[in-house]
Amino acid sequence: MNLLSTKHLKNLPKQEKLQNLCKAISTLEAIICPEWEYRYFSYQKNWSENEEFCEMRNGEGNHLLILFKDKNICINGFSSESSAKANLKKLPEIFHEFIFGEPIKTIGTTFCFWQLEKNKNWICAENLSKENDFSDELLFLLDGNAFTFKEWAEEYYEDEFEDFELRLEFVQKIYNGEKITKDLIFQINPNYKDLKQLKIDLLEIGYDFEF
């Protein structure tokens, strides 16, 4: 597993791969956990015109909010364990509405970094307090490794896997962007029941399916 934090941004997947990864994680969770409010990751393909949005929330006050705007990306993190504060003076104007508006205005920012289409390098906002921003604890699932998700999901959704195993080969299929079919749904979660709701979820995520 590649270490991910604001000090190891080079380990993040490239723009298109990162976007597809966020969709894959959100899709897997939609199949594992039909109840949206209990999921860790969610994705909105049509968040607003020319913007897509991914959110991570762990139910304990930690948030990761990712904006995909054309080919520009901005990632805002808030850790309830950290007193770190990001210096946002150099934040590109294209991200001002996202970072200074809701819900981030209320949630807060302990770290922030971005990537512009014209410059493929990640730029990280300075940590004003120099305190630990705990970014590694919020970013680890974005390493692009299907095994990382499998290990995490079996722990996070422990009750869901009491009577079946989350098999790596099926997680990898979603990571590879394979089309969702009924067979694949039940290979991932044999207990899944509401296919109509899953269609709604997948349309919102923007993940291809055929069932």
Among residues 180, 158, 157, which one has the least CA distance to residue 170? 180
Q: What is the pTM of this model?
A: 0.92
| Side-chain half-sphere exposure of 45, counting CA atoms within 13 A | 14
For residue 161, pLDDT beyond 90: no
Q: d(Cα 42, Cα 205) in Å, to the nearest integer? A: 8
Q: Is residue 2 part of a domain?
A: no
The number of domains in the chain is 1
Whether 79 and 62 have beta carbons less than 8 Å apart is answered as: yes
In the three-class reduction of DSSP (H, G, I as helix; E, B as strand; rest coil), residue 23 is classed as helix
Q: Is residue 4 part of a domain?
A: no
Residues of the domain holding 126: 9-205
Q: Give residue 47's pLDDT band: very low, low, confident or very high (50, 70, 90).
A: confident
Among residues 83, 77, 82, which one has the least CA distance to residue 63? 77
For residue 1, pLDDT beyond 70: no
Predicted confidence at residue 14, as pLDDT, reads 83
- What order of strands is seen across the sheet that includes strand 41-48? 41-48, 51-57, 63-69, 72-78, 111-116, 119-124
Predicted confidence at residue 10, as pLDDT, reads 87
Whether 109 and 76 have beta carbons less than 8 Å apart is answered as: yes
Handedness of CA 77, 82, 83, 87 (dihedral sign): negative
Q: Is residue 129 part of a domain?
A: yes
Q: Is residue 30 part of a domain?
A: yes
For residue 55, pLDDT beyond 90: yes
Q: Is residue 211 part of a domain?
A: no
Q: Is residue 210 part of a domain?
A: no
